[in-house]
Amino acid sequence: MNSEIIHNLQTIQQRIQNACTESNRDCNEVKLLLATKTVSPERIKAALNSGQTLIAENKVQELKAKYDALKGTPHISHFIGHLQTNKIKEILKHEVSCIQSLDRLDLAEKLQQRLEFENKEIEVFIQVNTSNEESKFGVHPSKAIDLVQQVAKFDRLKIKGLMTIGLFSAETEKVRQCFRLLKNIQQEIIALNIPNVVMKELSMGMSADLETAIKEGATIVRVGTAVFGQRMYPDSYYWNENKAYL
Ligand SMILES: *Cc1c(COP(=O)(O)O)cnc(C)c1O
């Protein structure tokens, strides 16, 4: 129900606020992104109408399916799923302003080509696999800086930060290590002063671990379940398309 969504959003905002207070951070530094996979346009609209602005899909198919229904409601659209190169045209057609899941050179190359052709630019985050789990996408931490340097050469891609999915674990300290690693990589990249690279954003933290992420420096937390409720599919379905769950 929509009133539940509004209520959940208030709870999330309070959690963000508390985490900021505890880590002496300004709450305005942390944006809430709504992860809307499997969520109907109706329910997404309820969140947008209550003042949310930032949403993201994992699959181009879902982005397309909801596009018309959401068009009339002002919002910013990011992409946080694994992106296949054959879906690049569709992504650009559906007004995604930032791809948070750029994790390999061939994808960057093909994006650059298409963006040149369409005379457009797009913001990107480099996705880093900080938990080193095979089931997750993202560049290996040891290769992240290299990838940033290569992607920086593509003038149509505007690197704005890094993204990671933390380890799925009840052990907070292990999860924290993932976020801390992302922060360290960010600091290393900043120190390199690479042209065409802005390292302002750290997209990390989800429903279960956003407090930890905020304490480690997140500027964007991506929340799905805690706002919209449980999803029908396991997340691995979205995080690794090589494994067929359906
Ligand atoms: C689904 C998803 C989220 C949100 O996860 P929740 O646990 O539902 O808050 C965040 N990031 C990515 C990449 C996701 O796929």
Question: What does the pLDDT look like over 194-205, one tens digit per residue?
Answer: 999 999 999 999
- Ligand 1 close to Cβ of residue 165 (< 6 A): yes
As for how many domains the chain has, the answer is 1
Query: Is 38 a residue whose pLDDT tops 70?
Result: yes
The yes-or-no verdict on residue 243 having pLDDT over 60 is no
| Dist CA 202 CA 218 (whole Å) | 5
Give me the mean pLDDT over the 20-49 stretch.
97
In a domain, residue 123? The reply is yes
Render pLDDT for 134-179 as a digit per residue (tens, 0 to 9).
777 999 999 999 999 999 999 999 999 999 999 989 999 999 999 9
pLDDT above 50: residue 244: no
Q: Is 240 in the pocket of ligand 1 (CB under 6 A)?
A: no
Is position 22 within any domain?
Answer: yes
Q: How far apart are CA 34 and CA 214, in angstroms?
A: 16
Please indicate whether residue 163, judged by its CB atom, sits closer than 6 Å to ligand 1.
no
Instruction: State which amino acid sits at residue 153.
Output: K
pLDDT surpassing 80 at residue 131:
yes
What pLDDT band is residue 241 in, cutting at 50, 70 and 90? low
Across the chain, the runs of DSSP E, i.e. the strands, are: 31-35, 54-57, 76-79, 98-102, 122-127, 157-163, 197-203, 220-223
Over the Cα atoms of the chain, what is R_g?
Answer: 17
Query: What is this structure's pTM?
Result: 0.94
> 26 in a domain, yes or no?
yes
For residue 224 and ligand 1, the question of a CB distance below 6 A is answered with yes
The minimum-distance atom of ligand 1 relative to the CA of 228 is 8
Residue 128 DSSP symbol? B
Tell me whether residue 246 is in a domain.
Answer: no
Q: Is residue 245 part of a domain?
A: no
Tokens 């805690």: give the residue: 226
238 lines ligand 1 (CB under 6 A): yes
Quickly state the pLDDT bin for 2 (edges 50, 70, 90).
confident
Instruction: Say if residues 224 and 233 touch (Cβ distance below 8 Å).
Output: no
- pLDDT at 115 > cutoff 70: yes
* Residue 9 counted as domain residue: yes
Residue 31 has φ and ψ, to the nearest 5°, of -95, 145
- Contact indicator for 169, 133 with CB cutoff of 8 Å: no
The widest CA-to-CA distance across the chain, in whole angstroms, is 48
Closest protein CA for atom 10 of ligand 1: 222
pLDDT of 240 reads 63
Q: What is the mean pLDDT of residues 113-117?
A: 98
Q: Provide the domain limits for residue 128.
A: 2-240
> How many CB atoms lie under 10 A from the CB of residue 28?
7
Q: Is residue 200 part of a domain?
A: yes
What is the predicted pLDDT for the residue at 246? 32
CATH code for the domain in which residue 80 is found: 3.20.20.10
Average pLDDT over residues 171-193: 97
